[in-house]
Structure 1
Amino acid sequence: MNKDKSLKSLRVLLMLLLVGCAQPQHDSEVPLKEVFKEKFLVGAALNADQTNGQQPAELALVKREFNTIVAENCMKMESLQPEQGVFDFKDADNFVRFGEENGMFIVGHTLVWHSQAPDWLFVDEAGNDVSRDTLVARMRNHIHTVVSRYKGRVHAWDVVNEAIGDQETLRRSKWQQIIGDDYIQLAFQFANEADPDAELYYNDYSMLNPHRRESGIQVIQSLKEKGIRIDGIGMQAHYGLDYLDLNEFEESVVKFAEQDVKVMLTELDITVLPFPTKEMSAEISQNYELKATLNPYNETLPDSVGTKLAIAYQGLFEVLLKHQDKIGRVTFWGVNDGQSWRNNWPVKGRKDYPLLFDRDNAPKKAFQSVVSLVKE
């Protein structure tokens, strides 16, 4: 770290120590969307309870702080098409309507993913894998139906999610096994057909890992070589205090930007809890037994750990601001600590504190550390 950066980090740390345990009055804070309005969009993933009006306090926070939203679950295939040919758009319609009413950049998540897919998708009536032609037709119908419904209203789509494996280049999902590697190409092709004006993204986790970074670059290059449009890449950014390598993160931002695509942090959170295994992965199927050693802050978060979280966010945003010309959007995966998925993944029943706002929707030290970078 150079001298200037060290001094800047020290200033932020001193500020945080002065703040102590006290939380600032939110009404006096400049909203995140205003702080970063000349830099990049800033937003959050919203759940159906929020956009259906059941969590008004969180909705008020979203309206105040953010200028972009993404659907947490209501636009995944199992939610939109639980039965073949039977679509349920109620929650998705409410999500889009909320974004429109508040002038937000709306992102649909996600069209093609191996997880949270309906039971019928990959099999025939006898329970056997369907043919390639059948699965391609099902993919095309789903993408065309969904994207066409929101044409001109949803501004961007996570077209394919988590196609890269933790070991192999492409995950051996049912999409890949039945259709082949070109299922990614077909998904982007169908999305472009349905709405040529919507931005189309590839989204994946652990994209600061060198193997996954290079695989992501291969996905981008493969699409472009075939003349298929891809507008951006989403780095999911599910990080932790013990596994956030800022050098690798910056390397990924730079290398992805060199592919002439927008770079985005799409599912940002930083857990303060220990990961159950030495091999960190954001694969959603992981599920570990709840133990006291894995849930050390069940009552409250120690002030010292809150300071560590603030410093981690500060370092991350220093990199983002350094490369703001390459960053299109920063989206947190959730609105406040209480509704973050990190409370139940990969260990159900934990109490985590991974976002900028606490369970009462008040800004934390992490919020202060982020906005202070621009205020300076």
Structure 2
Amino acid sequence: MTSSPLTLWEGFSGATVQSNGVLFEGLDRKLSPLPDSEDAPVHNPPLNLAMRFQMAGDFEINITATLSAANSTYFMFHGVIPMVQDEWYYALSTFKAQIVNGDWCYWSLYHPDNTEGGNAAASVGSNVIYTFKREGTELVFLTNGVEVTRQSDLGLFDDGVVYLSLDEANVGATFLVTEITTTGTVEETPVRRVPKTVGTLRDKAGKFRMGTAVSTYPMVFDEQYRTILGNEFNQITPENCMKFQFIQPARGVYDFYESDKLIDYAERNGMDVHGHTVAWNEATPQWLWDGWLDGTITATEVGEILDEHIEMLFGRYKGRMVSFDLINEPFQDWTDQLRDSVWFQALGRGYIERALRKAHEVDPDVLLFINEWGCEEAGDKQDFLFNLVVELQTAGVPIHGIGLQMHEDVNAEYQASWDADSTSVSKTHLTSAIARFHAIGIEVRVSELDINQHQIFATTPKAVAAWYATYLEACIEAGAHSFTMWGFTDRWSSLNEWYNYCGHGNGLIYDAQYRPKLSYQALSNKLDEMASSLTLL
């Protein structure tokens, strides 16, 4: 058996590395749906992956822990890195055991095609050794050597990898892990510099910013993901790890583990960081919504929380980010009304100015953006955003740029009356939008591009590839600040939760097996075609 270095948990919120082990404390971390949603908060999502075990055949992992008197402790063993988004996570291949008060165990086995669960008595007292192992075609969970459950393997760990995450459900309750041993190999995950090769998108783009959103755990644990990311792109946007509820999962408790990894990776690989996001109606922590709605957090306190959060985030990374989506999706659908966020409810329209002034005060070198959907076409919504920017400029508020999200679709049902393989936004639309904002001194970036296929006709992949190339051409010709896609591989597409995991998420330039699509080649060809323009940047 090999002992695992407990120091790998250093830097996680709710985990304190001590001389005698790692103390885990319940922070009531939740991924919170919007207040009007019928969905329950996702409680204690697996946001503290620290250990990756390399396994072959049968394996065993032992966790020695001391429990507090009344707690509910989670142990999660993942065969695939969970997908985590704004308000949900999807445990693709996971065995989860929840030990309640040291005497009862609830277990669940998650598989893309099958979910099973059950419970059993597990009288362990305050000191316990949890054992999780595979024996042949079965998974076995034991407490202090007593078998709790034995289930069919279902191929959860056929890739020979186990990721471990631990958590405490009850706020303030703790448990101490003093040792973790395994029959496998514990793989530490330092952030690495990726060797660069010629002929990549990054190589051809030169000084033009070719960007992608980044999912942090694949960046850390998945070598293919990490290598393509560093080789092909020169700018990255954190997909989730800088959002409010990820940075401050409990009031006054900050978790910079993932964002530190991302910043470190970017610096080691010579990449710009475009941060994302603070003031948004989504990804607002449950503790803030609850406190505001039940009156325990006042409007004055909401403003102070916003100020402090910006001071902590921008102060930590001062001089290490180029730009930031400080305000995200401020408008309610297609109207000029602001979204009914906790920020708007408590602070009114002035929350936007307050956030921008505070961020500029903390780090005056970061370009501050408002990021919004539906503004790449001429129309009311673009007018609303334009008018907001002019209003801020007139008041002397530091606003430097806007992001056009551009989540585009081809062959969707609502486009039934359009020509097959068409998208909603033409090159003319995009070029005009960039020019309009440039005319008032505002930078414009394509910030979240994906082009999703829905119904797939024989010509669809070629059409999607052509649209990618067209949008890139418009950005280069019009002098856009950057061209960023919302991820680069379907394996980690943010659309997967809304549709069937294996049948959708097909809007990016690499497929789920990291094979470049026609869309990748179209972008590469377009960069070749525009090489002379790129050398002038």
TM-score category, normalised to shorter length:
0.7 to 0.9
Contact 1:84 1:120 in 2 (8 A): yes
**Structure 1 length-normalised TM:** 0.80
Relative to the length of structure 2, the TM-score reads 0.57
Give distance in 1, aligned partners of 2:440 and 2:504.
39
Deviations 1:234-274 (A, max 9, x none): 1111111253321332321221222211110111111111x
Counting matched residue pairs gives 319
Q: Deviations over 1:248-305 (max 9, x none)?
A: 32321221222211110111111111xxxxxxxxxxxxxxxxxxxxxx56xxxx6522
Residue 340 of structure 1 is aligned with which of 464, 474, 493? 493
* Partner of residue 173, structure 1: 341
**Ranges in structure 2 where 5+ consecutive residues have no aligned partner:** 1-195, 411-421, 530-537
Q: Is the 8 A contact 2:494 2:505 kept in 1?
A: no
1: CA distance between counterparts of 2:275 and 2:296? 28
**In 1: Cα distance, 2:303 partner to 2:494 partner:** 32
2:384 is the counterpart of 1:230? no
Structure of larger gyration radius = 2
Which piece of structure 1 moves more, 27-36 or 116-125? Answer: 27-36
Residues 156 and 198 in structure 1, CA contact (< 8 A), matched pair in contact too: yes
Q: CA deviation at 1:201?
A: 1.0
1:287-338 deviation per Cα after TM superposition (whole angstroms, max 9, x unaligned): xxxxxxxxx56xxxx6522112112222222322321x2x111111112122
> What are the residue-to-residue correspondences of 1:279-290 with 2, within 5 Å?
none
1:250 to 2:250 alignment: no
Q: How does 1:306-321 map to 2 (within 5 A)?
A: 306-321=461-476
Q: Aligned partners of 1:183, 1:99: CA distance in 2, in Å? A: 30
How do 1:91-102 residues align onto structure 2 when only pairs under 5 Å count? 91-102=258-269
Contact 2:402 2:445 in 1 (8 A): yes
**How far apart are residue 78 of structure 1 and its match?**
0.8
TM-superposed deviation, 1:362 = 2.5
Distance 1:244 1:36, change over 3 A: farther
Query: What is the aligned partner in structure 1 of residue 307 from structure 2?
Result: 140
State whether residues 337 and 355 of structure 1, in contact with CA within 8 Å, keep that contact through their aligned partners in structure 2: yes
The corresponding residue for 1:373 is 526
Code of the aligned partner of 2:240: N
Name the % identity.
28
Tell whether the 8 Å contact from 1:58 to 1:335 is kept in structure 2 after alignment: no
2:116 corresponds in structure 1 to none
The one-letter amino acid paired with 1:60 is T
* SS of residue matched to 1:115: coil
SS in 2 for 1:120: helix
**Residue of structure 1 equivalent to 2:253:** 86
* Partners of 1:203 and 1:249 in 2: CA distance: 15
Do the aligned partners of 2:292 and 2:342 also contact (CA within 8 Å) in 1? no
3, 21, 37: which is aligned to 2:206? 37
- Name whichever of 118-127 and 168-177 sits farther off: 118-127
Alignment of 1:1-376 (within 5 A): 30-38=199-207, 40-51=208-219, 53-124=220-291, 127-128=294-295, 130-169=297-336, 170-209=338-377, 210-241=379-410, 242-246=422-426, 247-273=428-454, 304-323=459-478, 325=479, 327-345=480-498, 347=499, 349=501, 350-376=503-529
CA contact (8 A) 2:472 2:483 kept: no
Measure, in 1, the Cα distance between the counterparts of 2:292 and 2:343: 18
Note the aligned Cα RMSD (angstroms): 2.1
Structure showing greater relative contact order (alpha-carbon pairs closer than 8 Å, 6 or more residues apart): 1
Q: Alignment partner of 1:121: what SS?
A: helix
Q: Which runs of 5+ in 1 are unaligned?
A: 1-26, 274-295
Checking the alignment, whether the CA contact within 8 Å between 1:314 and 1:370 is kept in structure 2 is yes
Closer/same/farther in 2, CA of residues 122 and 359 from structure 1, 3 Å limit: closer
Q: Which amino acid aligns with 2:464?
A: L
1:47-77 deviation per Cα after TM superposition (whole angstroms, max 9, x unaligned): 12123x2111011001111101110001111
Q: Distance in 2 between matches of 1:67 and 1:235?
A: 19
**1:179-233 superposed Cα distances (whole Å, 9 cap, x missing partner):** 1111000010110111111111111111124222111112211211111111211
The 3-state SS of whatever aligns with 2:275 is strand
Q: Please state how far the C-alpha of 1:108 moved relative to its aligned partner.
A: 1.4
Partners of 1:32 and 1:329 in 2: how far apart? 13
SS of residue in 1 equivalent to 2:495: helix
Change (3 A) 1:364 1:230: same
1:71 touches 1:109 (CA, 8 Å); kept in 2? yes
CA contact (8 A) 1:271 1:342 kept: no
- Structure 2 counterpart of 1:231, one-letter code: H
Structure 2 CA distance for partners of 1:307 and 1:139, relative to 1, 3 Å: same
CA distance in 1: counterparts of 2:238 and 2:331, whole angstroms: 22
Pair 243,304 (structure 1): closer, same or farther in 2 beyond 3 Å: closer
Distance 1:335 1:132 in 2: 40
SS of residue matched to 1:341? coil
- 1:369 shift after superposition: 1.8
Does the Cα contact within 8 Å between 2:201 and 2:523 map onto a contact in 1?
no
Equivalent position amino acid for 2:404 in 1: M
Give CA deviations for 1:125-184 in whole Å, capped at 9, x if unaligned. 882374321111110011111110111112221111000121321223222122111100
